[in-house]
Amino acid sequence: MISYFQDYITVGVVLSVGLVLMTLVLSLSAVIRPNNPTSEKLTTYESGVDPVGTGWSQTYIRYYVFGLLFVIFDVEAVFIFPWAINLEKLGYFGLIEMLIFIFILLIGLIYAIRKDVLKWE
């Protein structure tokens, strides 16, 4: 039972040392850095242009759909690379399973194309 808690004690010590070092470095940087606030430095910086209007703007849903499609196909790549490395061990079963996986993703891509989700206006 003692060795069981020893692992937790090790994690706690590492976390404590990390927090102490982080606090020490942030405190040291707050003491050393120069502090010269001016009205020009306190204005909002927006790509070199003075900000105009409010900060609220409406975003098209299309951006989120593209992001979601990217994440889906990125996750597909995460599953395909380890499969390709172990293809010889998995044999035909692994090949068939991966083909089913790719087929399901292909159906989703065809659905997105037919719904004109990927058309940029």
Model pLDDT for residues 5-45, shown as the tens digit of each residue: 888 898 999 999 999 999 999 999 999 998 888 887 777 76
112 found inside a domain: yes
Q: By the 8 A CB rule, do 87 and 94 touch? A: yes
Q: Count of domains in the chain?
A: 1
22-26, 68-72, 92-96: which has the minimum mean pLDDT? Answer: 68-72
7 found inside a domain: no
Question: With 80 as the cut, is the pLDDT of residue 121 above it?
Answer: no
24 found inside a domain: no
Q: At what angle are helices 61-85 and 87-114 packed, to 10 degrees?
A: 160
Q: According to the model, what pLDDT value does residue 1 have?
A: 61
64 found inside a domain: yes
Looking up residue 91, the CATH number of its domain turns out to be 1.20.58.1610
For range 42-69, the mean pLDDT? 74
For range 92-119, the mean pLDDT? 87
Question: With 80 as the cut, is the pLDDT of residue 51 above it?
Answer: no
- For residue 66, the enclosing domain spans 59-121
DSSP at 45: P
18 found inside a domain: no
48 found inside a domain: no
DSSP at 49: B
DSSP at 60: -
Helix (H, G, I), strand (E, B) or coil at 116: coil
